[in-house]
Amino acid sequence: MDISSLTLTQAKSLLADGDITSEALVSGHLKRIDEQNENLHALLGVSEQALDEARQADTRRAKGEDGGVLAGIPIAIKDNILVQGWENTSCSQVLEGHRSAYSATVVERLKAAGAILIGRTNMDEFAMGSSTESSHFGPTKNPWDAERVPGGSSGGSAAAVAAGFVPAALGSDTGGSIRQPASLCGVVGLKPTYGRVSRYGLMAMASSLDQIGPITRTVEDAALVLQVIEGKDPRDATSVELQETTIPELMTDSLEGMTLGIPDEYFLEGMDDTIKSLVMDAVAQLKERGATVEKISMPHAKYALAAYYVLMPCEASSNLGRFDGLRFGYHSSGNTLTETYERSRGEGFGSEVKRRILLGSYALSAGYYDAYYRKALKVRTLIKRDFDDALKRVDAIVTPTSPCVAWKLGEKFGDPLTMYLSDIYTITANLATVPAISLPCGFSEGLPVGLQLMGRPFDEQTLYRIGMAYQKVTDWHTRTPV
């Protein structure tokens, strides 16, 4: 049995039927990591307890105890999500030597459901980037072509799933950081509605945009993981009480009665022809399953990236104020306290993080606040209204996830604006707070292409239904890199 290519659902049923032990499952994945991680650099560290925990899960199962929905299944965690005792750094030098004092709510929930946390994944420093190249620990490589980036910022999580290191990983998404790497690595990435998942224990980048979500091989697996981590948490006041979601009922392959919207603004002239035609092929397949397709217009989409590059740095520059060189991590002494702050931060943060702190400080400074920050908040309202209007007519919006396939390492790293443009299709969902999922829909010159579905706030079910119907009649998600 090829353990590395199992989906979470397959692993779950093999475990339930006694056809495999958790120990075999986890050690199979550890072997895979051992063979390939040195080259791919998707994982930064592997938990030493993972095998023990797997054996304990087997013992509980043998005794007939209910170990939970994810009992004995290995999951990897993005390095900006706290796991008590782990050396979580958000891949920044500023947190060198930091050890998490407590676990994020999502981590507690995964553990309560029996999951085995196998290791922390590489990412862009503080989730700021689209290629995982800004990690203090060096870049992750794309499993489909090791000369290319995996996307980012959750590039380690996406590469880990694509390479068969784990059947599922957690990422975080502020402007596309789950979906874009999922697209570039040929796996599924789900950004939940803002408020669906507690952010407690997630190192904050932009608090009004950040959400934690799963990266998996299938839509069904993403739904399963989300069900475990979602729901109200008193420790995050923006998390919301949810209606119960039931996945099996959604497993119909008919999309009868469903209307999909195709926004002109996401299919611009000059876009990659192969990506466009693969997305339109996917739309045709959804049509065959019974969906109706409509053209829609989202006139403010073209302003989304500009609004994002005001709001995100503003929030990030405030959030990163806590890294003072004293409370945790990197410390560089100066002659005065102010000098200590300046040195610790100047030396500890990498170039992209400093760039965004400066940008946010500028936009929030006296005289510029109205022109930048307040203006961008108003434009965010216009973008949200575009979504509200469109989603009155259609049940979901279909677009490409990324305007391009995985690019070569180093290709865009020196040019921030070009790098930012790779998030142009994903950023709107964060600004509008809606749920969005990326799933594999084909290959362009051997590299994966992603299809993005965006839905109504808190209506992840519709995305599951469309995504599952699509994956029932296609096999893109079953392809694995050599």
Partner 1 sequence: MDITHLAKLARLALTPEEIQSYQGQLGSILQYVDTLQELDTEQVPELQHAIEVTNVFRLDVPEGCEMDVRERSLKNFSNRSEDLLKVQAVFDGRTE
Q: Site residues (CB under 8 A) for partner 1?
A: 84, 98-102, 194-195, 208-209, 234-235, 237-238, 240, 300, 302-303, 305-307, 309-310, 317, 324-329, 331, 336-343, 345-347, 349, 351, 354-355, 357-359, 361-362, 365, 371-372, 374-382, 384, 416-417, 420, 433
Minimal distance, residue 377 CB to partner 1, in Å: 4
Q: Which is nearer to partner 1, 86 or 470 (CB)?
A: 86
Catalytic residue among 153, 172, 198, 239: 153
**CA proximity to 130, closest of 477, 428, 419, 362:** 419
Q: Which is nearer to partner 1, 33 or 376 (CB)?
A: 376
Minimal distance, residue 79 CB to partner 1, in Å: 16
Minimal distance, residue 447 CB to partner 1, in Å: 27
C-alpha neighbours within 13 Å on the C-beta side of residue 330 = 21
Strand partners for 262: 295
Minimal distance, residue 173 CB to partner 1, in Å: 13
Alpha carbon distance 223, 213 (integer Å): 10
Strands 168-173, 436-444: pairing is unpaired
User: Is 208 designated active site?
Assistant: no
Catalytic residue among 172, 177, 198, 402: 177
Q: Residue 418 phi/psi, 5° resolution?
A: -65, -40
Alpha carbon distance 165, 76 (integer Å): 9
Helix (H) or strand (E) holding 417: helix 416-421
Q: Which is nearer to partner 1, 149 or 304 (CB)?
A: 304
Q: Extract the tokens encoding 198.
A: 């507690």
User: Is 172 designated active site?
Assistant: no
**CA proximity to 431, closest of 352, 319, 351, 315:** 315
**CA proximity to 153, closest of 206, 226, 103, 109:** 206
Q: Are 213 and 191 in contact (CB under 8 A)?
A: yes
Reduce the DSSP state of residue 425 to 3 states and report it: coil
Place of tokens 């093999």: 14
Minimal distance, residue 424 CB to partner 1, in Å: 12
Q: Which is nearer to partner 1, 60 or 355 (CB)?
A: 355
Catalytic residue among 78, 141, 191, 412: 78
Minimal distance, residue 347 CB to partner 1, in Å: 7
DSSP letter string, 441-465: EEEETTEEEEEEEEESTT-HHHHHH
Q: Which is nearer to partner 1, 410 or 446 (CB)?
A: 410
Strands 396-400, 259-263: pairing is parallel
Minimal distance, residue 194 CB to partner 1, in Å: 5
User: Is 276 designated active site?
Assistant: no
Q: Extract the tokens encoding 43.
A: 């994982």
Q: Which is nearer to partner 1, 23 or 210 (CB)?
A: 210
Alpha carbon distance 44, 165 (integer Å): 12
Q: Which is nearer to partner 1, 55 or 343 (CB)?
A: 343
**CA proximity to 434, closest of 442, 423, 426:** 426
Alpha carbon distance 230, 223 (integer Å): 10
**CA proximity to 253, closest of 290, 214, 293:** 290
Active site members? 78, 153, 177
